[in-house]
Amino acid sequence: MAVQALARTTPLTELAARHDVSRKFVYRQADKAQKVLDTAFADASDEQTVLFNLPVTKEWLRSFVIAQLLIGHSAYRGVVEILHDLFDQELSVGTVHNIVRQATARARTLQAAERLDRVRVGAHDEIFQGQAPILVGADVESTFVYLLGEEAHRDSETWAIRLWECADKGLLPEFTVADGGKGLRAGQALVWPGLLCRADVFHALLETGRLAFYLEHRALGALSAEETLERKMAKAKAKGCGNQYSKRLSVNSQKLNTALALADDCATLRTWLREDVLALNALALDTRRANFDFIVAELRVREPLAPHRIGPVRKMLENQRNNLLAFAEETDHALTTLAAELQCPLDTLRGRFNAVCRAAAEGTDGLETDDLSGRPDPVDEALRAICRRTVRASSIVENVNSRIRLYVFLRRHLGPAHLDLLRFFLNHRRFLRSERPERAGKSPAELLTGQAHPHWLELLGFQHFQRAA
């Protein structure tokens, strides 16, 4: 496990799950192994050995500045200090800004020629830098970011203008996935009337999870109050005046029972929603809809007990029912079509699809092999393809948002120039590793177009340094 952690070929989260330990434990083992290796191979003479010579030119310094800003997440003044301390090279903040401006101009020229015809599913979202919204759009399959811009507003007109610009480059997805943003959805309706914008399953589960968390802690508060009253009543009884707490204790006991029952019920409803109704499985669409309606009805019955908390969640689920279950309609249709092609009973196919989905969730292969050829069973391969193509959430755009936040916190104002350069970098930087093998060693642009391109520094006009063989 320590060797695999040091090799960095497997994400530590996946490694910890595989060995059923915590990430902290994996880090500890890797640290022990690293110390052993350092001790075993320590050689004082190696410290002064020249590994290779680096020709530092003005062009190389400019590429170093861009790499520090984009890879190292450095601020302008941080780059200035690194050059001063490590290279004894003076560089002003204004020079750094000019280098960024020149690189941005080159990036914009390349991005103007990009085509978005191959985007099958788009994921849209909004994040904020200060008070200004940043509109984000990404391809779910390749993670290619086709929209990244800071705007004054996030209304339907702004979204429509930006999506029209993408449409001019060929963007016409089969459907999109987004949260409940009204401006986002209204803008898409203006650009592509009739194009479905699916609801994000993640946000629905997040809100129901917050509801269950609140009700659980409210029940724990009532339980704590019950224990406090019982202690006070015990002390009062010892003094012969315990009746003064009996009524309060009776009232609190009723509140406690109600709170515990409500917390348990809502937790159960949330589990059904997460594990069955909104999960990736072979559950029939009609059954999902019936179960979904049952959950909403049960929340409505309990709504008077906590209207300010249950009400918004119940309304959100009720209003987004069809959009939340749109992925299930696609899966149901795909399984029905596959069963007809293979002349296989649909129930049998559903059972095998559930096994494939569980294996995918656990990070295992989950594919059976043909006894004669030793190759993966073609039925399971087809089911796995359905599993991979099914989109339930805008997780890709949330991942993009998390990476963008590493840059936006450095400065109060980003501006279109920095975001254009950042979008170019995100699209042309190759993945060093990925849970999906087909992405490792490729950039989002290569995954989208199917065509290789030079290193992102070379695309910006810099010479990519490579050591001599």
In this structure, are residues 219 and 228 in contact, taking their beta carbons and an 8 Å threshold?
A: no
Q: Does residue 64 lie within any of the structural domains?
A: no
206 and 298, same structural domain? Answer: yes
CA 414 to chain centre: 23
Residue finishing a domain among 302, 324, 346: 324
Same domain, residue pair 253 and 226: yes
pLDDT at 19: 86
Residue 97 is assigned to a structural domain of this protein: no
Query: Residue 349: which domain range?
Result: 327-389
pLDDT score for 412:
55
Residue 230 is assigned to a structural domain of this protein: yes
- What's residue 55's pLDDT? 83
Q: Which of 359, 389, 419 is the last residue of a domain?
A: 389
* Number of folded domains that form the chain: 4
195 and 205 both lie in a single domain = no
Q: What is the pLDDT of residues 421-464, one digit of tens each?
A: 999 999 999 998 887 888 889 999 999 999 999 999 999 998 88
pLDDT for residue 325: 92
Last residue of a domain, one of 374, 389, 404: 389
Residue 96 resides in a domain: no
Would residue 227 count as lying in a domain? Answer: yes
pLDDT of residue 374: 46
Residues 302 and 221 in one domain: yes
380 shares its domain with 435: no
**In a shared domain, residues 213 and 247:** yes
Question: With a cut of 70, which residues of the chain have pLDDT below it?
Answer: 43-47, 242-244, 363-376, 409-416, 469
Q: Nearest-CA neighbor of 103 among 138, 59, 73?
A: 59
- Residue 371 is predicted with a pLDDT of 45
Contact 410, 422 (CB under 8 A): no
d(CA 362, CA 14): 9
**Contact assessment for residue 380 and residue 352, using Cβ atoms and an 8 Å cutoff:** yes
Give me the pLDDT at residue 349, please.
87
Q: Do residues 187 and 205 both lie within one domain?
A: no
CA pair distance 211, 270, nearest whole angstrom: 9
Same domain, 29 and 138: no
CA gyration radius for the chain?
A: 28
- Is there a single domain that holds both residue 206 and residue 294? yes
- 367 and 398 co-located in one domain: no
Can you give the CATH number for the domain in which 172 is found? 3.30.420.10
Residues 154 and 177 reside in one and the same domain: yes
